[in-house]
Amino acid sequence: MSLPAIRSMSPAQVGDVRRLESAVRELPQVKIDTQHVIHAGTYSRTIRIAAGVILTGAEIKRSTLLVFNGRALVTMGDETVELSGYHVLPAAAGRKQAFLALADTDLTMVFATGAGSVEEAESEFTDEPHLLMSRKPGARNYINITGE
């Protein structure tokens, strides 16, 4: 089965996710660990969304790969798609996605970078690093920077 790439979103579509994000902020918040790896000119960040959790991401300003493993409703442009299983998806710049995990779901975002720190890499893919779970007080970050 071939899945479409995750496309860029229009300002109206991004606005829809921002409205959802505002509503979700009123719900009890769940801490999400972030695993970061900088290796061989790439940065990857992996999170696990527990079943039943709604997550909205920061607006992504560069193209990435998104590795998905689990079962969730996912915004993809102007539609919401149910993904199940393991998928490696090309994902365009200019997107702000929402996920509703129907089962525990792992997400890994990967892109080429020259960044030497997690903070540099995060600022490279979003202008909203303050929205990232990895920047919240008490965040649990697991970092591996190999220097290779």
Give the pLDDT confidence score for residue 36 in this predicted structure: 97
Per-residue pLDDT of the chain (148 residues; tens, 9 = 90+): 566 788 899 999 999 888 988 888 888 888 899 999 999 999 999 999 999 999 998 999 999 999 999 999 999 878 889 999 999 999 999 999 999 999 999 999 999 999 999 999 999 999 989 888 899 888 899 999 998 8
Kindly list the domain boundaries of the chain, sorted by start residue: 11-145
Give the pLDDT confidence score for residue 83 in this predicted structure: 94
SS3 per-residue string spanning the chain: CCCCCECCCCHHHHHHHHHHHHHHCCCCCCCCCEEEEEECCEEEEEEEECCCCEEECCCECCCEEEEEEEEEEEEECCEEEEEEEEEEEEECCCECCEEEECCCEEEEEEEECCCCCHHHHHHHHCCCHHHCHHHCCCCCEEEEECCC
Out of 2.40.50.140, 1.10.10.10, 2.60.120.10, 3.40.50.720, which CATH number does the structure's domain 11-145 have? Answer: 2.60.120.10
The overall pTM is greater than 0.85: yes
How many Cβ atoms from other residues are within 10 Å of residue 9's Cβ?
Answer: 22
Chain-centroid distance, C-alpha 82: 16
Chain-centroid distance, C-alpha 78: 17
Give the pLDDT confidence score for residue 26 in this predicted structure: 87
Give the pLDDT confidence score for residue 3 in this predicted structure: 65
